[in-house]
Amino acid sequence: MAEMKSLRIAYGEALVQAGKLDDRIVVLDADVSSATMTNIFKKAYPDRHYNFGIAEANMVCAATGMAQSGLIPFVSTFALFGAARAFEPLRNSVAYMGANVKLGLSHSGLSVGEDGGSHQAVEDIALMRLLPGMTIFVPCDAFEMEKAVKAAVEIDGPVYIRVARPVTEYFTAKDDPFVPGKANILRDGKDAAIFAAGLMIEQALAAAKILEGEGISAAVVNFHTIKPFDQDTALEFANRCGVVVTAEEHSIIGGLGSAVAQALMGKANCKFDMVGIRDSYGKSGDPALLFKEYGLTAEDIAGKVRDKVGI
């Protein structure tokens, strides 16, 4: 069995690494540090971890105050409460001021599983995309999580890191480059291109394998950065392959698929479809079963590619 690692633990450990190198880094949490795994940072640096209690809007605004005073706050809670509940404070007190605040928000997507629809953020990327100046990372494995945290420290301005709940395999290598705004090609192909991010990388790679067995050569491109969006790579694959299918664990409204559609519109000559959550809320259940019910599996991706390739 392949080696596995929790994305959340990778996040917590990456914070410790970053904190070791830069004493401006402080971590803020809203009473869920044992779920976001910022408690790993708290253990290493108890004096640099601030619990704001169950008050996300205040945490976000206070982070701006801390950033304006020279600190680099990493703010963590569940994505729905950080990105959605505190959206307007994020808009007016973080992004509008270009504050150097980093958001590492966990429990995004259907992979939250049993906690159900109230806790599954399927709109966080859409909300963050709306904010000028916001960088958005969606890491697919522990290596990328570590690199995303490191890159976030180096960026002067707000950064959103989507931290999915599950334990994942490694789909990238430790020394693969992670350049913000530059997609990574995980697998080349000539008949179709699958654009994915985060947990959907696993499904996209599996879909490419299924398609390969049917004689369809599908590329898999990892858009670990949703914003700024790598339009050049998207256009290159769209024009070369003629078929693009996006795969995201997010609403198809406003997420990766929308970013790709906006990038390609009027510029690429290709067939296009999206795999993602189709304007609905999540619900309780085993994540694998939810992926199946919501059409987020490798077979769903392969089906859309098959359909567009015309076989």
Partner 1 sequence: MNITEQTEKARHLRADIIKMLYLAKSGHPGGSLSCVEMLMALYYNVAKIDPKNPRWEKRDRIVMSKGHACPALYAVLADKGYFPREDLWRLRKIDSHLQGHPDMRKTPGVDVSTGSLGQGVSVAGGMALAAKHKGEDIKAYAILGDGEIQEGLVWEACMSAAHFGLDNLTILLDHNGLQIDGPNDEVMSLGDIMGKFAAFGFHCEKVDGHNIGEIVGALGTDSHGKPKFICCETVKGKGVSFMENNFGWHGKAPNEGEYKTALGELGVELDG
Contacts of 185 (CB under 8 A, 6+ apart): 219, 220, 221, 222, 233
From candidates 14, 16, 40, 57, binder to partner 1 by CB under 8 A: 57
Residues annotated as catalytic are 56
DSSP letter for each residue of 162-189:
EE-SSEEE--S-TTS---TT--EEEE--
User: Taking CB under 8 A as the rule, does residue 31 contact partner 1?
Assistant: no
Contact stretch for partner 1 (CB under 8 A) within 2-10, 47-55, 135-143, 282-290: 47-55
Place of tokens 């404070």: 89
User: Taking CB under 8 A as the rule, does residue 58 contact partner 1?
Assistant: yes
User: 157: burial class by Cβ within 10 Å (0-12, 13-18, 19+)?
Assistant: middle
Which residue from 276, 193, 201, 205 is spatially nearest to 235, judged by alpha carbons? 193
User: Taking CB under 8 A as the rule, does residue 269 contact partner 1?
Assistant: no
Contact stretch for partner 1 (CB under 8 A) within 55-63, 219-227, 254-262, 292-300: 55-63
Contact stretch for partner 1 (CB under 8 A) within 44-52, 216-224, 259-267, 274-282: 44-52
Contact at 8 Å (CB) between 171 and 186? yes
From candidates 37, 61, 201, 205, binder to partner 1 by CB under 8 A: 61
User: Taking CB under 8 A as the rule, does residue 245 contact partner 1?
Assistant: no
Binding mask 64-93 for partner 1 (x = CB under 8 A): xxxxxxxx----------------xx--xx
Which residue from 270, 280, 261, 14 is spatially nearest to 137, judged by alpha carbons? 14
H/E stretch holding 218 reads strand 218-222
Q: How far is the CB of 97 from partner 1 (least distance, A)?
A: 5
Q: Judged by CB, which is closer to partner 1: 49, or 224?
A: 49
CA 237 vs CA 50, 86, 173, 243, 271: distances in Å = 44, 36, 22, 8, 12
From candidates 4, 22, 53, 118, binder to partner 1 by CB under 8 A: 53
- What sign does the dihedral 5-7-8-10 (CA atoms) show? positive
From candidates 9, 35, 44, 55, binder to partner 1 by CB under 8 A: 55
3-state secondary structure of 69: coil
Q: Judged by CB, which is closer to partner 1: 26, or 211?
A: 26
What is the distance in angstroms between the CA of the first residue and the CA of the last residue of the chain?
33
Count, residues near partner 1 per rule CB under 8 A: 26
From candidates 96, 210, 231, 299, binder to partner 1 by CB under 8 A: 96
Q: Judged by CB, which is closer to partner 1: 24, or 182?
A: 24
Q: How far is the CB of 16 from partner 1 (least distance, A)?
A: 18
3-state secondary structure of 275: strand
**291 vs 296: CA distance, rounded Å:** 5
User: Taking CB under 8 A as the rule, does residue 235 contact partner 1?
Assistant: no
Residues of the shown chain interacting with partner 1 in the complex, contacts defined by CB under 8 A: 26, 48, 50, 52-53, 55, 57-58, 61-71, 88-89, 92-93, 96-98
